[in-house]
Structure 1
């Protein structure tokens, strides 16, 4: 007698198998994800313990709704298995459970259209040397991970492979060309006084809107005076001057810039000790800027920590301390602190890491007023203000993992206030002629780019939700998919459009300056935010937000290619953006062809438009079904391969129609509904009537995108 089969059960299935409702073997990665080339996306979210029902909870319907809300995935996903990940999962489950219980009353009052979850895409990426480095949720690279997963799972499994490897993973590039031998570091660089003016001008333009470390009017004369007595002393001041010249020549002569940088960095480290001053802060802030422009972002993050600690050590964060050094020094010390804040916030936001500095004990004002009470125009103040708002977005949205309309309105009020005070003046500055003030033009562009990225960051979760709704799932029958996702004017759709509009405006403003060859070749802030805008525009085109987005997507790609001549990150980002645009256009073309095929099939026998040979083939087809109302052409369309249908389409009298003209919103229901069989139309009505077209109403507006992104 044969023994009965013993069914093996696993404690927890991966997120993908849960969503697809398929059997999971419990391995990491599981066999299902391995077959779908989704090794990096195979994740196991913790299963929260069931909580006893509280007496004060509302009706049983509320309990069912609450229990139906999907759990939120882990905070950090890595490209390699980590043995110590289990305790963090337990902690994450406990935190998620606590946050859920605390917000029950808020969710019961929230509308179904008032919330969206923020995808958790923090992860460990490998740098050029194979070392793992952390990138948080709000970073542009994390947005790419979300976009890549959507595209590979719903559009093309092989998307991005030529640029990011067979596994689809992206690595964080780190340039190593600037590292010289120790023998070359000890040699003092030669400085040509004839080139100082050009290098100082290039330095001021490249750092405008990012930092303001010196009195720019006297910077060139101070360096020339230092050159005149060069060799008398090797101190931090010499390191600062060498760093200014290195940054100024970074886009002109990379080898000369690398020699000056390495010597200055060694000199600054050798002078680092108990005798700290503003020169120490300036030196390591300049080291940070140089390494950012050289795509050495991890090194920049580390060296900035020295600048931040040194600034706190000499009291730069307290304006009452700065006033003791006289009027001019007071202004310089305040500007130095605000410059560090801008650098810190850019580093933390672009990499998704906690900042090194805080405004908790800071009294340095970021707004200055004239005698008549009007706020003075200052690019550094504008940059600090908009990045501070962006920091609040990260803390209030991406740390909470959820965003609501109420929270969005509070943030948008701050953005509107900033925009009303600064955006008109910044646009006027960008519209100036380069001969007037090139530094002001570049600085205004950098500040405006930060503003556009802040808007994209706060509206990004709603765009991801809309994208998920609009793109059909290939594993679900076509009849249950909403291919267009609707064209409603809901709050989520409006916010998704705001995200796309901000990306379009940024791409347009950068493209204008690129066309006039105004921007420096190394602009890390613009490159990071422009990469995010290229991703937003690509998925906006993919999700059917308008064919005009192709124009703006190409603008962003042209900008990235412009910076790619000097920036390795920009080169990598441009390849990703071009791959996304290519996949979006292919997807839209396929949609147009499929839509036209459906329309052609439904009207094929009205006037004898289909060739005679095809009619003979249709008449010869065996009818193995007795279902009424289904035409033979419909059966052929359902059973024939896609490439065969495409060939038949272009062999038909419609072969000379431009595919771009086939996306006019025509559908089988609206165009040929009158010609459908009555029974077939009844079945379609029955299927769609059985669908819940508003699934959000079942979850009090709670959307968990983790399992879908």
Structure 2
């Protein structure tokens, strides 16, 4: 059993060192070692109760880290088939808060495995499946003990930090699972909004589709879950309880910030709560970037996305000013060119329209030609037209290409 523990610790260390391929391989060694020892099956009666508890805790720890890491990296989990084949009964552990958190994480990992299997492995999403999976997640959250939901005031600082970080990871895992369920519908909804935004900025009438109310409802749940995750992380960060290198948290924060960034890009109105959560994600990654090259890369990507959102909002504001008044223009400025403001607004509107032409990065499913352009969003309740955009590695796996990279 020490072999399993050693490879789990080596895997966790490698994630912190940004060597994700090596970490994934060590997880595989730990999983096969656990199977060889029979940790995945019920213990026989000849084993003492304390040893049974020890074997069970080790197996649950392996499943949690394996399923989380695999879902983030977009790779098959070594324990997923074992979880499906062996429906092992695990009794709730309430001896210590740490054991309660481990049990909650293990139960959540079972739902996470089902999410990956139903939505991503089969490459088909439906409203019925999403509602069913979200109902399971809600039932899981309803049975969480109070030790995971609240903080304690009568603990030693070191013990309090350990428990708070553990509870934060449980909460982030839950919000990440919700994001995985609802993200296909967020992509569908944002594609419709971007089509309408293109119509607004270009002034050209196109056959823009209508938003599906059910898809919009699930897309809102995806955004809300990302906001809640980042707000939770920001509370811990502002309390100065975060560690300086957190291998899993940086991936959670990046995934949630991507959801919010693309939502901000496709919205006409500014939501202060979403903007604040996105800014909080940048602050957390900026702190983690001092010791993590992966966090530094995530920060660079999100900073570029923030710049794109800012530019998009400036274009929309300039066009709104142009529509409000056609009788006045700016005469003098120390920074702007001497062109009349109306001319500058018209050029910005044409630039915005060009950047949103179907077939670019926001419309990969639309053809890029000189003929009539029709924006067709992906179909959810049926065959998804662009499932390549739904693969998990595209949301998290950004390999380093610079010399001296620490990633295999």
How would you bin the TM-score normalised by the shorter chain? 0.7 to 0.9
Please, which of 399, 402, 412 is the counterpart of residue 124 of structure 2? 402
Q: Does 1:283 align with 2:6?
A: yes
CA distance in 2, matches of 1:647, 1:423: 60
Please, which of 77, 86, 110 is the counterpart of residue 362 of structure 1? 86
Pair 446,550 (structure 1): closer, same or farther in 2 beyond 3 Å: same
**Tell me, which stretches of 5 or more residues in structure 2 are unaligned?**
332-336, 346-372, 391-408
Give the alignment's Cα RMSD to 1 decimal: 3.6
Quick one: which of 69, 72, 75 aligns to 1:347? 69
Give 2:298's match in structure 1, choosing from 573, 578, 583.
573
* Structure 1 segments (4+ residues) deviating >3 Å: 360-367, 429-434, 472-478, 642-650, 698-703, 705-709
Would the alpha carbon gap of residues 457 and 708 (structure 1) be closer, same or farther in structure 2, given more than 3 Å must change?
A: closer
Match of 2:385 in 1: 704
Change (3 A) 1:507 1:610: closer
Alignment of 1:42-53 (within 5 A): none
* CA positional deviation for 1:474: 6.2
The CA distance in 1 between the partners of 2:229 and 2:385, in whole Å, is: 29
Change (3 A) 1:337 1:447: same
CA gap 1:491/1:304 in 2 versus in 1, 3 angstroms: same
Query: Aligned with 2:242: secondary structure?
Result: coil
1:509 aligns with 2:259: no
Q: Across the two proteins, how many residue pairs are aligned to each other?
A: 350
Q: In 2 relative to 1, CA 380–345 (structure 1 residues): closer, same or farther, beyond 3 Å?
A: same
Q: Work out whether residues 98 and 166 of structure 2, in 8 Å CA contact, stay in contact via their aligned partners in 1.
A: no
Task: Tell me the CA shift for residue 535 of structure 1.
Answer: 0.4
TM alignment of 1:417-428, pairs within 5 A:
417-422=139-144, 425-428=147-150
Asked whether the 8 Å contact 2:108–2:140 carries over to 1, the reply is yes
1:521-532 paired onto structure 2 within 5 Å: 521-532=244-255
Cα 1:430/1:351, change in 2 over 3 Å: farther
Q: Which residue of 1 aligns with 2:102?
A: 380
Answering whether residue 190 of structure 2 is matched by residue 467 of structure 1, we say yes
Unaligned runs of 5+ in 1: 1-277, 614-641, 651-690
Q: Tell me if the contact between 1:513 and 1:519 (Cα under 8 Å) persists in the aligned partners.
A: yes
Tell me if the contact between 1:389 and 1:415 (Cα under 8 Å) persists in the aligned partners. yes
Residues 507, 552 of structure 1: 8 Å contact kept:
yes
CA 1:369–1:552 in structure 2 vs 1: closer, same or farther (change >3 Å)?
Answer: closer
1:318-365 per-position Cα deviation (integer Å, ceiling 9, x unaligned): 2223x5321211111110111111121122111111111221443643
Q: Please say which of residues 353-362 and 407-416 is displaced more in the overlay.
A: 353-362
| 1:470 Cα deviation from its structure 2 partner | 1.3
Distance 2:114 2:300 in 1: 32
Distance in 1 between residues matched to 2:380 and 2:66, nearest whole Å: 39
CA distance in 1, matches of 2:184, 2:380: 17
SS at match of 1:479: coil
What displacement does 1:442 show? 0.5
Aligned residue for 2:262?
Answer: 539
- How far, CA to CA, are the matches of 1:592 and 1:394 in structure 2? 40
- 1: CA distance, partners of 2:296 / 2:180: 23
Could you give the per-residue CA deviations for residues 581-624 of structure 1, whole angstroms, max 9, x where no partner exists? 121121012111112202212xx3xxxx569x9xxxxxxxxxxx
Aligned counterpart in structure 2 of residue 599 of structure 1, from 316, 319, 324: 324
Is 1:449–2:130 an aligned residue pair? no
Checking the alignment, whether the CA contact within 8 Å between 1:534 and 1:556 is kept in structure 2 is yes
Higher helix share: 2
Q: Deviations over 1:444-503 (max 9, x none)?
A: 0011111000111111111111211112486996322589x87x7811111111111111
Mapping 1:472-487, distance limit 5 Å: 472=195, 478-481=203-206
**Does the 8 Å contact 2:194/2:266 carry over to 1?**
yes
Corresponding position of 2:283: 558
Q: How does 1:81-480 map to 2 (within 5 A)?
A: 278-321=1-44, 323-357=45-79, 358-362=82-86, 364-368=88-92, 378-422=100-144, 425-429=147-151, 435=157, 437-472=160-195, 478-480=203-205
CA distance in 2 between partners of 1:370 and 1:444 (Å): 14
CA distance in 1, matches of 2:194, 2:172: 29
Deviations 1:656-706 (A, max 9, x none): xxxxxxxxxxxxxxxxxxxxxxxxxxxxxxxxxxx999x78x998766245
Q: Any idea what SS the aligned residue of 2:35 has?
A: helix
* 8 Å contact from structure 2 (residues 5, 30) kept in 1: yes
Report the CA distance between 1:434 and its aligned residue: 6.9
Question: Higher Cα Rg: structure 1 or 2?
Answer: 1
2:404 aligns with none
Query: Structure 1 CA distance, aligned partners of 2:121 and 2:2?
Result: 36
